[in-house]
Every structure is written in structure tokens, then in C-alpha cells.
Structure 1
Amino acid sequence: MKSFLEISQLGKIYDTPKGPAVIVENFDLRIRKGEFISLIGHSGCGKSTVLSMVAGLTEISAGAIVLSGKEVTGAGPDRGVVFQAPCLLPWLTAFENVMLGVDQVYYTADREERQQIAEYYLTVVGLGDALHKKPAELSQGMRQRCGIARAFALSPKMLLLDEPFGMLDSLTRVELQQVLIDLWQKDQKTALMVTHDVDEALFLSDRIVMMTSGPAATVGEIVEVKFPRPRSRKQLLEDPEYYRLREELIGFLEERSHHRPTRPPSPPSTPEVKPPAKHSPLKRFLSALTAV
């Protein structure tokens, strides 16, 4: 099957007072349309950097990213981003925060239709009674529900999730994982999620990509998760395969993550492209608002 997202020989280098710091190097990944992929690895290995480059919020230093046949050179509403902190504008209500993106994406629709889209997704994530509350009036979990609603309301080609439940307590985390997967299963948008949580990755994913430890982190191993969908936690916990996969993931993180893969580099699937144009911090911030 043709890849929907192609990441080819991706690299990121930062200049530091001690010289260039290679964060990510020769990162190759192909994602099929409708797949849910999780990216795991030790803290600081570059997981969020990869996600940010796919989102167009961080400039790439090498390689190329192609989404649905088009090179990624900046942020855009074709990628819905959910961050660990939902990044809501504090002076706007939950409804107004979602409408901010909806107005830009559905600018040809009339006002009533745009409002219906925002209300629908806020209601689906459980915020039907909190549409007109501002972020300060919402719990952390409710703010993250708003962030999820905002991402889905844009009807993006792809979802990018950067540890979306990392700041939540265990109970709220489990609840929002279910909210996310219920929404995702409606049209199975292609999704790439960064997480530290092995159990979360197993519950949500079709494949789990394990990154090697930095510096110069890359793809280490990839695990197929073949549990049928829709999934229930009870069924997973009763399946011996769940524990085998869990041990494989933990084994990589504890024992093999510092080993560089020995496979030959993948041949480039796209012609060499010019580096993306540099954007000012202000322009990147404004682009991020439309991306989320």
C-alpha cells in the first residue's frame, strides 16, 4: 500500500556554543493512510522534535517529509496538533478557541454551519455544558478535551499528538484515551503520537516505533500491534500477547535503545528538495494557531 506520510533520511542539528548538536539523524518512516502510529523512546531522544518537524513547526536540517504527495515546508491546517499543554487562548471560551481554527478552515461555510461544527466536537468530547467557559474555569482534563476537539474540528489529513495525556492523573488519562480512540475510529485519520507510556501505545496503536537514545537518534525497532478494533482494555489485559509485546517494548527501552540499527539506509523515495524557507518566531507562532 502506498505511504500516506513519508519521512526520508530526516535529520535535525542545533547550533550550540560547543558546536553542532545532532538530535535526530537518518530517521526513516513510512505511514499508511488510516494508521495510528506511536513513537516511544527515552526522554530527550528527539521524539517531540520529529513530531514538530512533521507539524512544520521546526525546520528540518536534512531529509524530507512528504504528506499525501506534498512536501511539508511549514505548519498548516492539514495537520491537527494536540500538545501536552493544550495552548488555549485564555481570553477566549472553549467554543471560541475551537472556532478560531474552524473559521479559517471552513471560511466558505456560513456562520451557523461553522458554529455547528465547533459545538459538535466539543459535545462529543464531553464539553457540551462548558462551551462558554474560559480555560481558567476548566480543569486540566477539560482543557485537553478542548484541545482534542479543536484538532478534530479542522478535519485534518493527519493528527499529530505530542504526549497529549502526559500532564493528567491516571484516571483522567484513561478516560481521555477512550475519548481519543472513539473519535479516531469514526474516520480513522492517520495519526502519529509521541508517548512515554507503553500501555497507552499498545492500547491505541497499529504500530509502535521505538527510537534509539540520543544523540543522533533514529528508528530502532518497530512493533506491529495486531489486536482487533474496536479494542477494550479488559480484552487486552486478558490476552497473553499483550504482555509479550509489553515485555518486548520495555526490553528495548532498558537493553537495546543505545544500539544503532545495522540495517542499510532506505533509498530516497523523493527527489532532493531545497531546505524550507526560514520563518520568524512570530510567523511560526501564528502558523501554529491554525495548525491546532
Structure 2
Amino acid sequence: MSAFLDISLLGKTYDTPKGPAVIVENFDLKIRKGEFITLIGHSGCGKSTVLSMIAGLTEISTGGVFLTGKEVAGAGPDRGVVFQAPCLLPWLTAFENVMLGVEQVYYTADPEERRQIVEYYLTVVGLGDALHKKPAELSQGMRQRCGIARAFALSPKVLLLDEPFGMLDSLTRVELQEVLLDLWQKDQKTALMVTHDVDEALFLSDRVVMMTSGPAATIGEILEIKFPRPRSRKQLLEDPGYYRLREELIGFLEERSHHRPARPAGSPPPPPTAPPKRSGFNRFLSALTPV
């Protein structure tokens, strides 16, 4: 498979007073241009850590991230990020928050072109009547719409979404899934999204990447989602295949997420484990045990 985004044997280890703590290891994934990938797994398994390393916001311990064949280091406008909380500057309007990034990326464009870009994306996400409102005047869902508009307006090569709807009520969540999918389908930006929601993953994805439970979490299984695009939620819910895939995802999370997959080809072997030291009492018991 030709990889537009190549996440190669990615790993993250933190030093702790008790020794190294391996959060993620040998995370190896090739993503094609225009694919929408969701990353799912139990809380604390390292999904957001993987996304943060790809975004350049967290230092990589092992492996690397390659975008269009070039290794990336540090954050950059080629990777747009949508967080769970939209992180808008409270003293700026929705328009000004989006314009802040647009001015940095489109610095050669004239002011009118930049204005059109900002207004277009804010209008597409449903904020055409709230351009000049500040975050305090917007609902949580409207603020997240602004965050999505800001990410798309920068025209990144890759869109990274870290549970962007996790703080929203179920109705708003469904609405914004539709907004995101409609916006993504206009130019099919390569996207990687972290989610806890099985139905969200099935609705949005081309593939669902399932992570094993931590510590030392990695990719457990990958599920291909072959429903045609453009997608309709109603059509998906009427398709028997949807429920089969849903059962597979839930089955992994409930029954198989603690299983360790085979080591990826090319990855370094695990360090040898020293045999546990036996106490004098244990040696005494062993001597009494008949062979």
C-alpha cells in the first residue's frame, strides 16, 4: 500500500521513579491519501499519545512519522489538529480565531482572499450567523464547530482529531458528525481521529484501528469499513453488515483488547527478561519439592 502518512514503529516511554513506563510501542500504520481512519481503544491505552506524537506536540521515543515520504518533527501547519476542547482565544470572535491561523498560512494572499476563506469554512460548519460572536456567546457545540472550521481553513495535508465530540451531548454529537463528514467529503482530507464511540467510528471511517490495552499498547486489529460514500446514517442502520461490524468492534474491546499481537516485521525484539530472584525461603521450598 502506498503510504501518504507512514507511522513507523512509533513508541513512547516516560521515565518514572520506578523506572521506564512504556505507554505505546511498535505502533505501525500506513495511511493512504484521502483515507479517514479512526483509532479506538480503552481509556488510557495511549490513543491520544499517538495522535499527539503525530501532531508533533509530544516527543517521540522510538520510530518516526513520515508525511509524503519526509520525516516530520515538531508541530506544523501540514497537520491540523482538532482537540476535545476547541481552545479558542476568549477575547477574539469566531472569525478572528479562525483568521489567526489563516493569516499565518496564507500570508501571501490579499486580505480579501483570507476573509473569504474564513467566512467560507465558518459558514460551511453552520456559523454563518455567528461570525462575530466571542466564545462566551457560543454553545459548546458551536465552539467545536469553530475549531473544526479553523482546522480545515488551514488546508493541512492531514487532519488529526482527538475525540472532538467527546464533551458534547448525544444530539449535538450526531449533528457534528454529519458536519465533519460533509466537510471532509468536499476534498477528502487524510484524517486520523481518536474516538471511544463504536458507532461514530463505523459511520466516519474507511478503517477502524483497534488498540490493545496498556501498558505498552499497540495495534491489535484493523477493521475495514466498506460502506459506500457518500454515506447516509439511515442507510447504514438498515444494513445488516453494520451490526456485524459493530459486534466485531465490541468483541475486540470486551474480549480481545488484552491480547498481544505478533511483533511487527522489522521491529526490534523485546529485551531479555532476567529470571526472577528467588528468596532463601523459596529456595528452601524448592529443595523440598520432589522432582
Q: TM-score by structure 1 length? A: 0.90
Bigger mean CA deviation after superposition, 10-19 or 54-63: 10-19
Q: Name the residue aligned to 1:18.
A: 18
Alignment length (residue pairs): 267
Aligned amino acid, residue 195 of structure 1: T
Is 1:126 aligned to residue 122 of structure 2?
no
**The residue matched to 2:260 in structure 1 has which SS?**
coil
Is 1:66 aligned to residue 104 of structure 2?
no
Deviation at 1:80, TM superposition (A): 0.8
Q: Name the residue aligned to 1:100.
A: 100
Alignment partners' CA distance in 1, 2:256 and 2:266: 25
Alignment partners' CA distance in 2, 1:266 and 1:174: 39
Aligned amino acid, residue 73 of structure 2: T
Aligned amino acid, residue 28 of structure 1: D
Deviation at 1:18, TM superposition (A): 1.7
Is 1:80 aligned to residue 80 of structure 2?
yes
Structural mapping, 1:220-235, within 5 Å: 220-235=220-235
Alignment partners' CA distance in 2, 1:190 and 1:237: 25
Bigger mean CA deviation after superposition, 6-15 or 139-148: 6-15
Aligned amino acid, residue 131 of structure 2: L
Higher relative contact order (CA 8 A, sep 6+): 1
**Stretches of 4+ aligned residues off by more than 3 angstroms:** none
Alignment partners' CA distance in 2, 1:79 and 1:53: 11
Aligned amino acid, residue 197 of structure 1: D
Q: Determine which structure has more spread, i.e. the larger CA radius of gyration.
A: 2
Alignment partners' CA distance in 1, 2:265 and 2:98: 40
Q: Name the residue aligned to 2:276.
A: none
Deviation at 1:19, TM superposition (A): 1.6
Aligned amino acid, residue 245 of structure 1: L
**The residue matched to 1:99 in structure 2 has which SS?**
helix
Alignment partners' CA distance in 2, 1:265 and 1:237: 35
Q: Name the residue aligned to 2:280.
A: none
Q: Name the residue aligned to 2:137.
A: 137
Query: For the Cα contact (< 8 Å) 1:102–1:114, is it kept in 2?
Result: yes
Deviation at 1:2, TM superposition (A): 1.2
Deviation at 1:266, TM superposition (A): 2.9
Query: For the Cα contact (< 8 Å) 1:28–1:266, is it kept in 2?
Result: no
**The residue matched to 1:92 in structure 2 has which SS?**
coil
Alignment partners' CA distance in 2, 1:182 and 1:97: 22
**The residue matched to 1:3 in structure 2 has which SS?**
coil
Aligned amino acid, residue 27 of structure 2: F
Identity among equivalent positions (%) equals 88
Q: Name the residue aligned to 1:265.
A: 264
Q: Name the residue aligned to 2:197.
A: 197
Deviation at 1:17, TM superposition (A): 2.0
Q: Name the residue aligned to 2:148.
A: 148
Deviations 1:99-151 (A, max 9, x none): 00000000000011101100110011000111111101100000000000000
Aligned amino acid, residue 9 of structure 1: L
Deviation at 1:267, TM superposition (A): 3.1
Q: Name the residue aligned to 2:248.
A: 248
Q: Name the residue aligned to 1:280.
A: none
Aligned amino acid, residue 115 of structure 2: Q
Deviation at 1:183, TM superposition (A): 0.4
